[in-house]
Amino acid sequence: MDYLSLLLSRPGAVAGGGVDAAVAAHYGQPLKEQRALADGRAVVDLSHLGVVTVSGPDRLSWLDTLSSQRVNGLAAGQSSQLLLLDIQGRIDFDIRLVDDGATAWLIVEPGLAAGLAEFLERMRFMLRVEVADVSAAWAVVAATADVPAFDGLAAWRDPWPEVGAGGFSYAVVETERHPGRERPWTEWLLPQDELDSRTEGLELAGMMAAEALRVAAWRPRQGFETDNRAIPHELDLIRTAVHLAKGCYKGQETIARVHNLGHPPRRLVFLQLDGSQHTLPALDSPVTLDGRTVGRVSSVAQHYEMGPIALALVKRTVDPTAVLTIVDSTGSQDTEGNPVVEEYVAAQEIIVAPDAGQVVGRQSGFLRPPR
């Protein structure tokens, strides 16, 4: 790992793990930090995220032709979310986009910027665009409220959970009651060499806090809720990242076919875990029903109010009223050398409706038609 955030030198900072190892998991009081973040009193260091810039007069029309989203004509300062898909409609890149009038800023998960820049370079042809991976020079910080110290910076405002133009909700709940409304989320772009000074005196929250609020908001994250089979319908990403009426792009056939005529094979579900245990299941732990594996844990967190919570991808046909069991093979052994297995009882809360898709001719079911 080449990058380590300067903010890891702040008092109490404990480094994260996995793809988030370059920034702080917490600064000594993760639940207190989470409460402060939810209340809009703290900021999160996301300086390990990838940043790619696209400049030139053709930048937005070009990105429009490549992606799932309609961004041609995006106003300066306006935010969007777009996907780059493979030919089967599977997610290659989940991109946060903000345009400042001269440059489109693309924010992606750690480790993805180089691959994104390389792909875009291959697709330039004769268009008037310039692509650059600027991750080493630019950092990202986030909060749930406006921060005066970041005034004047380019800011990506998460459209979740609103249903954008050309989008469609696959969730059971009405948008007005969606838990994502409790997490207004903004990510600011600032020069890496200003990260320390711009955050001086601000209350900091770590990735444990940020992830707990994300899970509670049902917000998918690339590399966690996505795998090499994930399509947008399974994650309710049609609502913010796909324009169903825009022109041709790679993967559009799958998007249209599943939306209009079929069903996504899996669905994202929110899990409320039995809080009697003092541990959390590992990521990718099997989710089972009656001893049969029906999915996997994609994200897990300790929420300051709800306790242990998780997101999981499960088979579409799983009974939405069933209580599930997460089976975590801890990797340790008991005194007799047998593997230790921890089981967590988990109650489902539906995110993506079991009958999602097949919109043509829809009359009834879990999924409400658009109003």
Domain 266-350 in this protein, CATH class: mainly beta
Identify the pLDDT of residue 239. 97
pLDDT of residue 364 exceeding 50, the answer is no
Label residue 340 by pLDDT band (50, 70, 90): confident
Q: What is the mean pLDDT of residues 292-306?
A: 98
pLDDT digits (tens, 9 = 90+) for 343-363: 999 999 999 999 999 887 654
Domain definitions of the chain by residue range:
6-233, 266-350
Q: Would you say 155 and 140 are in contact if contact means Cβ atoms under 8 Å apart?
A: no
The CATH number given to 6-233 is 3.30.1360.120
The token pair at 341 is: 């297995």
Q: Report residue 339's pLDDT band, with 50, 70 and 90 as the boundaries.
A: confident
Residues 6+ apart with CB under 8 A from 179: 161, 173, 216, 217, 218
Percent of the chain with pLDDT over 70: 95
Q: What is the pLDDT of residue 371?
A: 39
Model pLDDT, residue 369:
44
Longest C-alpha distance within the chain, in Å? 68
Residue 53 has pLDDT above 90, yes or no: yes
- At residue 370, the pLDDT reads 42
Q: Is the dihedral of CA 120, 121, 127, 133 positive or negative?
A: positive
Mean per-residue pLDDT of the chain: 94
Q: Rounded to 5 degrees, what are φ and ψ at 368?
A: -85, 140
- Percent of the chain exceeding pLDDT 90 equals 89
pTM of the complete model: 0.94
Look-up of token digits 């994250």: 221
Over residues 126-144, mean pLDDT: 96
Backbone CA torsion sign across 229, 233, 234, 239: positive
If DSSP codes are grouped into helix, strand and coil, which group holds residue 325?
strand
**Average pLDDT estimate for 151-157:** 98
Note the pLDDT of residue 49. 98
pLDDT at 365: 47
